[in-house]
Amino acid sequence: MSKLEIKAGGIKLDHPVMLASGILDENGYTMKKILEEGAAAAVTKSIGAEERNGYISPVVVEGEGYIINAMGLPNPGIELYEEEIRIAKKSKKPVIGSIFAADPDGFLNLAEKMVDYGVDGIELNLSCPHVKGFGTEVGSDPVLVKEIVKTLKGSIDKPVWSKLSPNVTDIVEIGQAASESDALVLINTVRAMAIDIYARKPVLTNVYGGMSGSSIKSVGIRLVYEIKKELDMEIIGVGGIQNGNDAIEYIMAGASAVQVGTAAWKYGRGVFKSIMDQIAQFMEENHIRGIDEIIGVAVQ
Ligand SMILES: Cc1cc2nc3c(=O)[nH]c(=O)nc-3n(C[C@H](O)[C@H](O)[C@H](O)COP(=O)(O)O)c2cc1C
C-alpha cells in the first residue's frame, strides 16, 4: 500500500488531492483527462434539476492571489448529465456528483439520478454564495441542512459529503446540523465583490461573487481547524491550495483529503501531480509513514 493512500469520507483514494467542484468539470472528457493526469478523484460541477445558462458576462474578475466569480451555477441539468459521468468514470477513479437544490426532495431526486449514473459519492452544494434560493440560502439554515442530510443518508447507499460556506456566523452550528454526513467539505468561496473605478460600478454583472485562490487559504484553514476541534468529523479541505505545503497545512488542521480548484484553472492539469509529489516528498523528509499519522495533528 502506498503511503499516500487514504480513505476519505468513505471513498478510497490513491492520494489525498482531488479536483474541486466547478473548475474544468462540466464535461466528462475534461474530468477524465484530469483524473488520468493525476487527480485522485473529481467532483463534478454542481448540477441542478433544470438547465441553467448562468449569468451574463463578466462573471469572473481576477486579482493578485484571487479570483472572484459569479457564474450563476450554469449547468446542463441532471437529465443531460449521465453521459458526462459515464465518460469520466472510464478513468476508473472516483467521481463525486455535486448537486444543488432548494429542499430535501429536490436533493434526493438529483442524488438518486447521480447514483444511477455511476458516481461514487454525492457532494451537497449547501454553499454557493451568489444564486438566490440555492447554496448559502439553504446551507445557512441548520434545520433545513439537517433535514436534507437525513433524507439523503436514509435513502442512498453512497457516501454523502456536505459542502459548507464560510459566509455564516457559526460554522460549528451548521457542521453539527450536517453531522450525519460522511464528510464536511470546507470551504466554498468567500462572498466578495470588485468595483470598476472608471465605470464607477461593480465589475460583475451579478454585483456579488465568491472569492477563491490563495487569498482564502487562511480562512479555510481556520474553519477546518474549528470544525475538527469542536466536532471531530471527517473533513475534506478546500480553498487556496496551490502546493504540497498548503495541502499538508489543511491536513494538519484536520482534513483527511483536499480539493483544488483555482490553482488548476490558473496552472493547468499538472497541478494535481505536483501537489501529490510535494506531499510525498514532505512525508519522506519528515519520516511520516501515512497520511493518517498527520490528520489533525495541529489541533490543540
Ligand atoms: C469558477 C468557479 C466555479 C465554481 N463552481 C462551483 C460549483 O459549481 N459548486 C461548488 O460547490 N463550488 C464551486 N466553486 C467553488 C470551488 O469548488 C472551491 O470551493 C473554491 O473555489 C475554493 O477553492 P480554490 O481556492 O482551490 O478554488 C467554484 C469556484 C470557481 C472558481
Positive or negative CA dihedral for 71, 73, 76, 80? positive
Helix/strand/coil for 192: strand
The answer to whether the CB of 279 falls within 8 A of the CB of 38 is no
In a domain, 222, yes or no: yes
1 pLDDT above the threshold of 80: no
Is the CB of residue 254 below 6 angstroms from any atom belonging to ligand 1? no
Is the CB of residue 97 below 6 angstroms from any atom belonging to ligand 1? no
| Residues in contact with 109: Cβ distance below 8 Å, sequence separation at least 6, in sequence order | 49, 78, 101
In a domain, 196, yes or no: no
CA of 20 to the centre of ligand 1 (A): 6
In a domain, 164, yes or no: yes
Res. 138 pLDDT band, cuts 50 70 90: confident
Q: Pick the catalytic residue: 73, 128, 164, 248?
A: 128
Q: Would you call 270 exposed, middle or buried from its count of C-beta atoms within 10 A (0-12, 13-18, 19+)? A: exposed
Nearest to 236 by CA among 2, 27, 19: 19
In a domain, 71, yes or no: no
Cell reading at 8:
476519505
CA of 210 to the centre of ligand 1 (A): 8
In a domain, 63, yes or no: no
211 pLDDT above the threshold of 90: yes
In a domain, 145, yes or no: yes
Over range 276-293, report the average pLDDT: 98
Gap between the Cα atoms of 300 and 282, Å rounded: 22
Res. 149 pLDDT band, cuts 50 70 90: very high
128 catalytic, yes or no?
Answer: yes
Number of structural domains found in the chain: 1
Domain range enclosing 261 = 6-45+79-184+214-294
Q: What is the pTM of this model?
A: 0.97
In a domain, 156, yes or no: yes
Longest Cα–Cα distance of the chain, Å, equals 58
How confident is the model over 2-56, as pLDDT tens digits? 899 999 999 999 999 999 999 999 899 999 999 999 999 999 999 999 999 999 9
In a domain, 111, yes or no: yes
Question: Tell me, what CATH number does 95's domain have?
Answer: 3.20.20.70
